[in-house]
Structure 1
Amino acid sequence: MSLHITTPLLSSRPLSLLAGREVLLKMEALQPPGSFKIRGIGLACETYQRQGAQRFVSSSGGNAGLAVAWAGRHLGVAVTVVVPETTSLRAQELLRQEQAEVIVYGSSWQEANQYARSLLGARDAFLHPFDDPLLWQGHASMIDEVAQSGIKPDAVVLSVGGGGLLAGVVAGLQRNGWRDVPVLAVETTGAASFHAAQAAGHSVELAEINSIASSLGAKRVCDQALRCASEHPIESLLVSDLAAVSACERFLDDHRVLVEPACGASLALVYEAHPQIAAYQKLLVIVCGGATSSVEQLQKTAAALRG
């Protein structure tokens, strides 16, 4: 039995009416730890446990860390998560609820990640938030589920942070014979590492992340994301922070589900009627989640952005 669940595939009446085309939602926000991350991280944790790992070490205060902590608790394996100082107290508390040891270190994810790696012992396994073939293989299962439903979308809309979701979805599309289904890869303008890499034709490290969509805050996407762009039709698109947050608010009203701004970036493509969606009659949006989100946080962020 896998650690992730088969999530609902919904036809969104509000979004379909708004967009004038069918909008399908893959509801990954309903995974037990709150995001799609449990698909790949669950597979990786099970694999590493079979190989003898007695502790899982991760470096994420967000969805990935929560997925590792959740998987570790269910597998009976100790978990240590190193988070940067910018990690919210709510996120730290959620990690501790899952019985993870939480270490706060460094001012950025990069620093926390380096420290997490320094902790590794002979019987520890490191769980990278997005750059691991096991993660991509696990994330691909969401497309397997769509294919099994008998529905083929004209395009898939998803958010890009480090590139793990993108790599997994492309793997899923290809293993189901859907190489002709393009991916609309969305980032906020202040966290556009994939967009920068596509424009340059090679991996690019951003000088800084300047976006409230913190889950998209990888300064450099994984190399696999760029390989995907060379072998699959991918369109890189940008939305504003305000568009992403507004989409979260509207989605909460429309579907009674709270997601984070990183997920709102994808939803904004529909809510803002982005011209790029006009070419497709059946859109599949990956509602990737956001376990650390709260209504209060969303309201505060929206108020700050609106001035």
Structure 2
Amino acid sequence: MDGSLAQCAQGEHFHLVTPLLESWALSQVVGTTVFLKCENVQPAGSFKIRGIGHFCQEMAKKGCRHLVCSSGGNAGVAAAYCARKLGIPATIVLPEGASQSVVRRLQGEGAEVQLTGKVWDEANLRAQELAKRDGWVAVPPFDHPLVWEGHTSLVRELKAALGTPPGALVLAVGGGGLLAGVSAGLAEVGWQHVPIVAMETRGAHSFNAAVEAGRLVTLPNITSVAKCLGAKTVAARALECMQEFEIISEMVEDREAVNAVQRFLDDERMLVEPACGAALAAVYSGLLGRLQAEGRLSPALASIVVIVCGGNSIDSRELQALKAQLGQS
């Protein structure tokens, strides 16, 4: 067993314990203390490293010889990073419109990159086909118990940092893996009563559509600019969590998410994807205040935690292009 696999067998993980920062600027907007759980500083650029790292380590222990992952970007980077650390080859399948910066990052991690289909769901079909090869294992971007189990570490870190539960927790929903993992983590630390505000952008709102219908819904297409939220069908476990936890599903428009990205860059000097902007928009758009006024959140929240999920598919030029596309100066 080489050194990397030996470390894996000893139970070490690939993710970092990320900072929990009090944001003066966002606290001023919402009128109560806002903490930022900064998953954007993970070595693979997003929270995905928690769950995918855990999954990949478990597969390595079982003798996996090649990892394959379909991704809108962030899951692929996490899988490629883990594969390099484990000394296992990786193939990452992305939709054809994937960010070139993500492609370069994946290649820099030593992964083979294939571009297939217009959306993640189509890339995923190719990945599932590749995973039929002997010794190859498909890395699920969001829909697997090991992935959710890995994400619970985020809540354990919150418990260690805060001691007492926050008044609400805000996160973005794509395929539902983060929501499922955070929900499990809240139950694990005895915080299952903490409300989760689950944010999506219109056009990538498979969770909200499922909540409204009371069953899984497959969107006809992903029309949002937040492509990393782009699973046309959310994980079944995410919908099940609605029955077990206090989850408020909300949508914002693309322009609100992109505006939140720009404001967050100005306020905190951190650049994140529109998918992350969906969560930040809960603060910047006044949504949390409206939820309080409607009685859906307590009017006296002691604190709010926003999970800054990060993202690799963004740079200054891409932000300007998105603003121009949406008619923002």
> Which residue, 163, 175, 179 being the options, matches 2:188?
175
> Which residue, 143, 146, 149 being the options, matches 1:131?
143
> Which residue, 30, 39, 60 being the options, matches 2:71?
60
Cα separation, 2, equivalents of 1:214 and 1:231: 28
Corresponding residue number in structure 2 for 1:292: 313
Aligned length: 307
Cα separation, 2, equivalents of 1:16 and 1:300: 29
- Please, what is the CA RMSD of the aligned residues? 1.1
Other structure's SS at 1:191 match: coil
Cα separation, 2, equivalents of 1:223 and 1:40: 17
Corresponding residue number in structure 2 for 1:13: 24
Cα separation, 2, equivalents of 1:31 and 1:88: 19
> Which residue, 37, 41, 52 being the options, matches 1:41?
52
Cα separation, 2, equivalents of 1:59 and 1:191: 17
Which one-letter code corresponds to 1:95 in the other structure?
L
Corresponding residue number in structure 2 for 1:144: 156
Query: Residue 72 of structure 2 contacts residue 227 of structure 2 at CA under 8 Å; is this kept in 1?
Result: no
Cα separation, 2, equivalents of 1:105 and 1:243: 30
Alpha-carbon deviation of 1:109?
A: 1.7
Cα separation, 2, equivalents of 1:12 and 1:87: 32
Other structure's SS at 2:114 match: strand
Other structure's SS at 2:169 match: strand
Which one-letter code corresponds to 2:26 in the other structure?
L
Query: Residue 135 of structure 1 contacts residue 168 of structure 1 at CA under 8 Å; is this kept in 2?
Result: yes
Taking structure 1 as the reference length, the TM-score comes to 0.98
Corresponding residue number in structure 2 for 1:261: 274
> Which residue, 213, 220, 224 being the options, matches 1:211?
224
Cα separation, 2, equivalents of 1:262 and 1:47: 28
1:277/1:95 CA distance change after superposition, 3 Å: farther
Cα separation, 2, equivalents of 1:109 and 1:291: 16
Alpha-carbon deviation of 1:194?
A: 0.6
Alpha-carbon deviation of 1:151?
A: 3.9
Other structure's SS at 1:306 match: coil
Corresponding residue number in structure 1 for 2:171: 158
Alpha-carbon deviation of 1:277?
A: 5.1
Query: Residue 61 of structure 1 contacts residue 91 of structure 1 at CA under 8 Å; is this kept in 2?
Result: no
Which one-letter code corresponds to 2:138 in the other structure?
F
Which one-letter code corresponds to 1:84 in the other structure?
P
Give deviations 1:45-77, integer Å, cap 9, x for gaps.
000000000110001141000000011111111
Cα separation, 2, equivalents of 1:6 and 1:110: 31
1:151/1:26 CA distance change after superposition, 3 Å: farther
Give deviations 1:174-198, integer Å, cap 9, x for gaps.
1000111010000011111111100
Corresponding residue number in structure 1 for 2:291: 276
1:277/1:141 CA distance change after superposition, 3 Å: farther
Corresponding residue number in structure 1 for 2:115: 104
> Which residue, 61, 74, 77 being the options, matches 2:88?
77
Alpha-carbon deviation of 1:88?
A: 2.1
Alpha-carbon deviation of 1:107?
A: 2.4
Cα separation, 2, equivalents of 1:151 and 1:290: 29
Give deviations 1:125-160, integer Å, cap 9, x for gaps.
110111011110011110000001214211110000
Query: Residue 161 of structure 1 contacts residue 218 of structure 1 at CA under 8 Å; is this kept in 2?
Result: yes
